[in-house]
């Protein structure tokens, strides 16, 4: 197995994917500026995998990973997670998302090209589709106008990467996530964002009495009036990255894959499941800070990932809830550092 550079490796999805890469025999060069990622999950993995994991603290916006690539001469491919990803926050400070997400990605690509690294997996988002024009959403769905600065930053990065692909400088895979949930099956690695902006995570935290739980969705036209989303488990998501990596190194060409379960659950259905599995009938209040431009329903068509990558989401909503209960019971405040 080769050596893989993982940016944003101290984050939620980054740390879970780093764990799975190591389990599958890859060596990992982990990169994070630790402004929102954490040292602790990487220290945990370092204690388990030793020299198979090397960790660097650096900032892509300033260095583009040149300092890392100068030392690590045999990087085979990159999985790029490093980004700000709070949709609500992006409306308040859009410039931060443009500088970090677009600027950081551009600087990274410059460094990769200079060092001859061609294979690139990009952590993208279903937000590039804007509001769904049809369901389920496949990879041919128009990417016309994202409804948030965050979505715009992801789509802009995709467009930059598409040009590098046309110029035969970088071969990218875009993995467009739907709603991510859960923790590792053993509850050892999970979401530490403070505050988290993921529904299921916040509902579990509310049920366990860790933090007050509030809803912030706008009323929509669904059976129970709450948005329907496609919730995909973070370990299943990490597995898609490992399979996409193997495909990219074998086929050596760019592609786009939607990553979701292919089915949807409403916000209120998720809350009901959390109440059932925790045994806690916690209060549910509406926030004064409601979201803008809320889509009624966003559900993935994942046939392409199934057929081409051999990927299959395996974990149920209930299993995701149970893994989060385990994670937050062990780490009520998430990682400390």
CATH label of the domain that carries residue 175 = 3.40.50.720
Report which of 266, 267, 245 is spatially closest to residue 311, judged by C-alpha positions.
245
pLDDT at 190 over 90: yes
Indicate the pTM of the whole model: 0.96
Distance between CA atoms of residues 225 and 240, nearest Å = 32
Asked, for residue 264, whether it belongs to a domain, the answer is no
Please state the rounded mean pLDDT for residues 281-301.
Answer: 80
Asked, for residue 101, whether it belongs to a domain, the answer is yes
Q: Summarize pLDDT for 91-129 with one digit per residue, the tens.
A: 999 999 999 999 999 999 999 999 999 999 999 999 899
Give me the pLDDT at residue 170, please.
98
Distance between CA atoms of residues 136 and 142, nearest Å = 13
268 CB neighbour count, 10 Å cutoff: 18
Give me the pLDDT at residue 223, please.
94
Which domain range does residue 87 map to? 3-180+231-259
Asked, for residue 16, whether it belongs to a domain, the answer is yes
Q: Among all residues, which ones are annotated catalytic?
A: 150
Asked, for residue 210, whether it belongs to a domain, the answer is no
Q: Summarize pLDDT for 224-256 with one digit per residue, the tens.
A: 989 999 999 999 999 999 999 999 999 999 999
Asked, for residue 196, whether it belongs to a domain, the answer is no
Write out the H or E segment, with its range, that includes residue 151.
helix 149-166
Distances (CA, A) of 259 to 8, 19, 187, 235, 278: 19, 19, 22, 12, 28
Q: Summarize pLDDT for 10-54 with one digit per residue, the tens.
A: 999 999 999 999 999 999 999 999 999 999 999 999 999 999 999
Percent of the chain predicted with pLDDT > 70 = 98
Distance between CA atoms of residues 42 and 46, nearest Å = 6
71 CB neighbour count, 10 Å cutoff: 9
Asked, for residue 193, whether it belongs to a domain, the answer is no
Asked, for residue 301, whether it belongs to a domain, the answer is no
Using the 8-state DSSP alphabet, how is residue 296 labeled? S
Give me the pLDDT at residue 292, please.
59
Give me the pLDDT at residue 165, please.
98
Q: Number of folded domains in the chain?
A: 1
Asked, for residue 194, whether it belongs to a domain, the answer is no
């Amino acid at each position: 197995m080769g050596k893989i550079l993982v940016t944003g490796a101290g984050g939620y999805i980054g740390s879970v994917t780093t764990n799975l890469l190591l389990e599958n025999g890859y060596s990992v060069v982990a990169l994070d500026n630790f402004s929102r990622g954490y040292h602790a999950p990487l220290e945990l993995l370092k204690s388990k995998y030793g020299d198979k994991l090397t960790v660097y603290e650096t900032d892509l916006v300033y260095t583009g990973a040149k300092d890392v690539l100068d030392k690590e001469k045999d990087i085979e491919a990159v999985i790029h997670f490093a980004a700000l990803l709070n949709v609500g926050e992006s409306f308040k400070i859009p410039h931060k998302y443009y500088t970090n997400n677009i600027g950081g990605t551009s600087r990274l690509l410059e460094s990769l090209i200079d060092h001859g690294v061609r294979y690139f997996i990009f952590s993208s988002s279903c937000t590039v589709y804007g509001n769904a024009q049809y369901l389920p959403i496949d990879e041919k769905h128009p990417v016309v106008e994202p409804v948030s600065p965050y979505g715009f930053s992801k789509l802009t990065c995709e467009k930059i990467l598409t040009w590098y692909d046309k110029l035969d400088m970088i071969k990218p895979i875009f993995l467009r996530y739907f709603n991510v949930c859960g923790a590792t099956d053993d509850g050892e690695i999970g979401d530490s964002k403070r505050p988290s902006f993921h529904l299921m995570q916040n509902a579990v935290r509310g049920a366990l009495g860790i933090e007050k739980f509030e809803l912030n969705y706008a009323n929509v036209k669904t059976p129970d009036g709450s948005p329907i989303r496609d919730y995909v488990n973070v370990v299943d998501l990490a597995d898609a990255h490992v399979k996409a990596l193997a495909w990219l190194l074998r086929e050596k060409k760019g592609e786009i894959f939607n990553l979701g379960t292919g089915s949807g659950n409403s916000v209120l259905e998720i809350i009901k499941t959390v109440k059932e599995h925790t045994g806690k009938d916690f209060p549910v209040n509406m926030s004064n800070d409601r979201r803008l431009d809320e889509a009624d329903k966003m559900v993935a068509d994942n046939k392409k990932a199934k057929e081409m990558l051999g990927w299959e989401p395996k974990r149920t909503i209930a299993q995701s809830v149970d893994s989060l209960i385990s994670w937050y019971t062990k780490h009520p405040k998430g990682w400390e550092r």
